[in-house]
Amino acid sequence: MEYKITTRNEKDTLEIAENIASEKFSNMVICLEGELGSGKTVFVKGFAHALGIEENVTSPTFNLVKEYPNEELPLYHMDVYRLKGACENIGLDEYFFKEGITIVEWSDMICDCLPDERLEIKFKVIDENTRVLLFIPYGTKYEDLCQSVL
């Protein structure tokens, strides 16, 4: 099942991310797809805020992964735009099982490396402020999450 939500501003996107973070669990993987400026990093900022992370969240474009320690569950924020499918043998898949939460921007670049169970969120730009977010859960935990929050 797919779930669709329309956001009208950044506040809406932050709120959705915070709601999803309220249902967090260990080894959660969230995959974000969408064009540049569609709201992927805004989503990560909202999620991090809900976890109590006070550090400024930016896209780790040149680092691939930025780790945000947290007392409850660490957040691993990936930006894999530059990989274009070449994710094998660099250890990114290890993050999916490190007892934290992994959020992957540009996840469509590494489809073959993603775990079978995950939540995909596709961001579509409608106009300057409006976005349509399509949520696609893979696995029971993610189905339950979507039904609880969306």
Question: Domain extents for the chain?
Answer: 3-149
Q: Average pLDDT, stretch 59-85?
A: 84
Q: Answer yes or no: pTM beyond 0.85.
A: yes
Render pLDDT for 19-71 as a digit per residue (tens, 0 to 9). 999 999 999 999 999 999 999 999 999 999 999 999 989 887 677 899 999 88
Q: Which residue has the higher pLDDT, 106 or 111?
A: 106
DSSP 8-class letter at 3:
E
- Other CB atoms within a 10 A radius of the CB of residue 80 amount to 25
Rounded CA gap, 12 and 62, in Å?
28
Residues 138, 142: Cα–Cα separation, whole Å: 6
CATH match of 3-149 with 3.40.50.1220: no
Rounded mean pLDDT of the chain? 91
Q: What is the DSSP letter of 135?
A: E
Q: Are residues 123 and 47 in contact, defined by beta-carbon separation less than 8 angstroms?
A: no
Checking if the pLDDT of 104 tops 90, the result is: yes
